[in-house]
């Protein structure tokens, strides 16, 4: 049952989390602006750089939300302790574990709001940022984007904001690994209802053991077997920039093609385990504030919170590449640091009894 003190604690903690989030967003904008201005060619205006940085922020929040919740909980719950409000609740019979539930409720509400932003708003604004950065230029990275379906390897020079393809080359191999068809098209227009592209100005060359033949056609349809709506984002963006749905679709495609999906699986499981990470950090926050940090000032609490967040952050970043190196299941590499958070939090809260 949610009681009045739950609502009061939730309001106080969410205000603290909001302030922490604002501070982190300001820092992210500052560093993002420096990075964009330093890497730019000088063609983008000051306003264009600012808009690009701001549009990238919603998707980047998925990496910092657990630590925003943790630091906000330390600051907010610490202020309640400093004003003796937590002492009053404990005197009236509210246990340490019940206080953890109150803080956890606030954390879950805040996390739900941030999840909506990162999963639905973030991919949309990130795509706008890419289009803003790219402008009329549709060229991809040097060498273009590569995509594989079975024995067909496709190279795409660029993708514009309407998902139209530019400079498409396809190489089809037989079961023995011999090239028997090469296709080149100047562009491809998406046919969304059919989950396909209409390739235009197609030049097709067939190879056999003795000769080769070339044919030219105005158009040809390229049907996609993987998820069509997320194709452009999966091809052009890094794993951290994809929504959970796009990650799931891309993992299914990579497994179907017997390609390495380790990095995408780690990112996907990290997203799914975020609620567990947040609750584990909530236990640590309550254990810190009611234990060793009870009589300390706000500066000490903030320093301790930042230090603990950095430790767990580095632990997660270290285990991910080790998991890929030693073929550890991705979900296990994600759950190990989460389990350590829970064990640490449970020990801290249990020592308060």
Residue 108 CB partners (closer than 8 Å, separation 6+): 275, 278, 279
Do residues 212 and 204 lie in contact, with contact meaning Cβ atoms separated by under 8 Å?
A: no
CA separation (Å) from 270 to 39, 63, 306? 29, 9, 20
The position carrying tokens 């903030």 is 302
At 214-240, the pLDDT tens digits run 888 888 898 888 888 888 878 877 787
Higher pLDDT, 16 or 330: 16
Which candidate, 231, 66, 263, places its Cα nearest to that of 162?
231
Helices (H) and strands (E) in the chain, counts: 12, 6
CA dist., res. 334 & res. 324, Å (int): 12
The pLDDT assigned to 137 comes to: 45
Residue 351's CB is within 10 A of a number of other CB atoms, namely 12
Tokens at 30, concatenated: 């500052």
* Mean pLDDT lowest among 36-45, 107-116, 148-157, 275-284: 36-45
At 134-180, the pLDDT tens digits run 544 455 566 688 888 888 899 998 888 778 898 999 999 988 888 88
Question: What residues pair up with 166 in beta bridges, in sequence order?
Answer: 158, 187
Question: What residues pair up with 212 in beta bridges, in sequence order?
Answer: 207
Judged on CB neighbours under 10 Å (0-12, 13-18, 19+), 119 is middle
Over 80: is that where the pLDDT of 124 sits?
no
pLDDT interval class at 18 (50, 70, 90): very high
Which candidate, 4, 5, 2, places its Cα nearest to that of 89?
5
Over 70: is that where the pLDDT of 41 sits?
no
CA dist., res. 302 & res. 78, Å (int): 10
Helix/strand/coil for 350: helix
The pLDDT assigned to 230 comes to: 81
Higher pLDDT, 159 or 49: 159
Question: What residues pair up with 219 in beta bridges, in sequence order?
Answer: 200
CA dist., res. 159 & res. 236, Å (int): 8
Residue 340 per-residue DSSP state: H
Tokens at 283, concatenated: 């236990």
Over 50: is that where the pLDDT of 69 sits?
yes
The pLDDT assigned to 353 comes to: 67
pTM: 0.76
Mean pLDDT of the chain: 82
Residues constituting the chain: 353
CA dist., res. 159 & res. 163, Å (int): 6
The pLDDT assigned to 132 comes to: 58
CA dist., res. 302 & res. 295, Å (int): 13
At 295-312, the pLDDT tens digits run 666 667 667 767 777 777
As a whole number, mean pLDDT of residues 7-32 equals 90
At 258-271, the pLDDT tens digits run 888 888 888 888 88
pLDDT interval class at 22 (50, 70, 90): very high
Which candidate, 99, 94, 95, places its Cα nearest to that of 77?
99
CA dist., res. 129 & res. 125, Å (int): 6
pLDDT interval class at 42 (50, 70, 90): low
């Amino acid at each position: 049952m949610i009681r009045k003190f739950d609502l009061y604690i939730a309001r106080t903690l969410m205000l603290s989390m909001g302030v922490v989030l604002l501070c982190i967003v300001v820092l992210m904008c500052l560093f993002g602006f420096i990075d964009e201005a330093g890497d730019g060619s000088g063609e983008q205006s000051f306003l264009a750089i600012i808009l690009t940085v701001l549009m990238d922020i919603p998707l980047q929040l998925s990496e910092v939300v657990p630590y925003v919740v943790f630091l906000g909980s330390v600051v907010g719950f610490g202020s309640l302790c400093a004003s003796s409000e937590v002492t009053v609740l404990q005197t009236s019979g509210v246990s340490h574990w019940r206080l953890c539930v109150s803080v956890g409720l606030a954390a879950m509400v805040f996390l739900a709001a941030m999840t909506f932003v990162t999963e639905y708003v973030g991919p949309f604004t990130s795509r706008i940022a890419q289009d803003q950065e790219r402008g009329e230029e549709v060229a991809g990275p040097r060498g273009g984007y590569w995509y594989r379906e079975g024995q067909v390897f496709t190279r795409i020079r660029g993708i514009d904001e309407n998902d139209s393809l530019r400079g498409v080359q396809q190489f089809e191999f037989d079961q023995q690994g011999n090239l028997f068809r090469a296709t080149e098209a100047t562009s491809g227009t998406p046919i969304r209802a059919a989950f396909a592209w209409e390739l235009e100005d197609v030049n097709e060359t067939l190879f056999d053991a003795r000769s080769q033949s070339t044919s030219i056609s105005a158009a040809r349809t390229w049907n996609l077997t993987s998820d069509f709506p997320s194709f452009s984002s999966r091809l052009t963006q890094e794993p951290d920039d994809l929504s959970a749905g796009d990650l799931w679709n891309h993992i299914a495609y990579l497994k179907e093609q017997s390609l390495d999906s380790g990095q995408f699986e780690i990112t996907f499981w990290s997203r799914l385990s975020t609620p567990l990470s947040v609750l584990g950090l909530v236990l640590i926050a309550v254990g810190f504030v009611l234990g060793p940090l009870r009589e300390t000032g706000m500066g000490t609490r903030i320093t301790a919170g930042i230090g603990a967040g950095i430790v767990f952050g580095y632990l997660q970043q270290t285990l991910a590449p080790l998991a890929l190196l030693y073929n550890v299941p991705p979900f296990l590499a994600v759950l190990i640091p989460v389990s350590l958070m829970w064990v640490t939090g449970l020990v801290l809260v249990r020592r308060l009894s």
